[in-house]
Amino acid sequence: MHWKKLSYLSEERIKRLQDKKTRAFIRQQIPYSPYYRELFKKIGLKFSDIRTTDDLVKIPIISKEDIAPYKNDPERHLNFVLQPDKDLIKKHMPKYKLLRFNLKEKLEQEYKPIHIHFTTGRSYVPTPFLYTNYDLGKLKEAGRRMMEVFDVSKDAVAINGFPYAPHLAFWQSYYALLACDIISLQTGGGKILGSDKIIDAIERMKATTLLFTPGYCYHLLKEAREKMKDFSSVKEVILGGEGIPAGLRLKMKDLLGRMGAKDVRVLSTYAFTEGKVAWAQCCEEAGYHLYPDMEFIEIVKDGERCGSGEKGDIVYSALDSRGSVVLRYKTGDIGSLEEDKCSFCGRTVPRINTNIERSSEFKEFNLSKIKGTLVNLNEFFNIMMGDPQIDEWQVEIKKKGRDPYDLDELVVYVAPNAKVDIAQLKVGLRKKIHSQMELTPEIIVMDKKQLLEKLGMETELKEKRIVDKR
Ligand SMILES: [Zn+2]
Measure 369 CA to ligand 1 centroid, in angstroms: 48
Average pLDDT, the chain: 92
- The tens digit of pLDDT for each residue in 82-102 reads 999 999 999 999 988 888 889
**pLDDT score for 385:** 87
Asked if residue 154 has pLDDT above 50, the reply is yes
**pLDDT score for 121:** 61
Measure 325 CA to ligand 1 centroid, in angstroms: 28
Asked if residue 398 has pLDDT above 70, the reply is yes
pLDDT band at 370 (very low <50, low <70, confident <90, very high): very low
Measure 285 CA to ligand 1 centroid, in angstroms: 9
Burial of 38 (0-12, 13-18, 19+ CB in 10 A): exposed
pLDDT band at 364 (very low <50, low <70, confident <90, very high): low
Measure 192 CA to ligand 1 centroid, in angstroms: 34
**pLDDT score for 70:** 83
Task: Tell me which of 51-65, 115-129, 141-155 is least confident.
Answer: 115-129
Measure 237 CA to ligand 1 centroid, in angstroms: 17
Asked if residue 369 has pLDDT above 50, the reply is no
Measure 327 CA to ligand 1 centroid, in angstroms: 26
SS3 category, 21: helix
Asked if residue 122 has pLDDT above 60, the reply is no
Measure 156 CA to ligand 1 centroid, in angstroms: 21
What single-letter DSSP state applies at residue 281?
Answer: -
Measure 338 CA to ligand 1 centroid, in angstroms: 11
Measure 125 CA to ligand 1 centroid, in angstroms: 36
Asked if residue 276 has pLDDT above 80, the reply is yes
Measure 3 CA to ligand 1 centroid, in angstroms: 13
Measure 95 CA to ligand 1 centroid, in angstroms: 40
* Percent of the chain surpassing pLDDT 90: 77
- The tens digit of pLDDT for each residue in 199-241 reads 999 999 999 999 999 999 999 999 999 999 999 999 999 999 6
Q: DSSP states of 316-345 as a string? A: EEESS--SB--SSEEEEEEE-EE-S--TTT
Measure 283 CA to ligand 1 centroid, in angstroms: 7
Measure 289 CA to ligand 1 centroid, in angstroms: 7
Question: What count of other Cβ atoms lies within 10 Å of the Cβ of residue 71?
Answer: 6
Q: What is the spatial distance between Cα 319 and Cα 325, in angstroms, rounded to a whole number?
A: 9
379-468 falls under which CATH superfamily? Answer: ANL, C-terminal domain (3.30.300.30)
> 70 pairs with which residues across the strands?
73
Measure 288 CA to ligand 1 centroid, in angstroms: 8
Q: What is the spatial distance between Cα 123 and Cα 174, in angstroms, rounded to a whole number?
A: 28
Measure 109 CA to ligand 1 centroid, in angstroms: 34
Question: What count of other Cβ atoms lies within 10 Å of the Cβ of residue 431?
Answer: 11
- The tens digit of pLDDT for each residue in 424-451 reads 999 999 999 988 888 888 999 999 999 9
Confidence (pTM): 0.91
Helix 214-226 × helix 246-258 angle, to 10°: 30
Measure 65 CA to ligand 1 centroid, in angstroms: 34
Measure 157 CA to ligand 1 centroid, in angstroms: 23
Task: Tell me which of 298-312, 327-341, 352-366 is least confident.
Answer: 352-366
Measure 342 CA to ligand 1 centroid, in angstroms: 5
Mean pLDDT value of segment 103-131? 88
Measure 271 CA to ligand 1 centroid, in angstroms: 17
**pLDDT score for 360:** 62
Mean pLDDT value of segment 325-336? 95
* Percent of the chain surpassing pLDDT 70: 95
Question: Are the CB atoms for 286 and 344 separated by under 8 Å?
Answer: yes
Measure 295 CA to ligand 1 centroid, in angstroms: 18
Measure 339 CA to ligand 1 centroid, in angstroms: 11
- The tens digit of pLDDT for each residue in 277-312 reads 999 999 999 999 999 999 999 999 999 999 999 999
Closest CA to 43 of 28, 25, 62: 62
Domain locations along the chain: 379-468
SS3 category, 366: coil
- Burial 225-248, CB ≥16 within 10 A → b, else e: beeebebebbbbbbbbbbbbbebb
Q: DSSP states of 183-207 as a string? A: EEEE---TTTT-HHHHHHHHHHTT-
| C-alpha torsion sign, points 439, 440, 442, 448 | positive
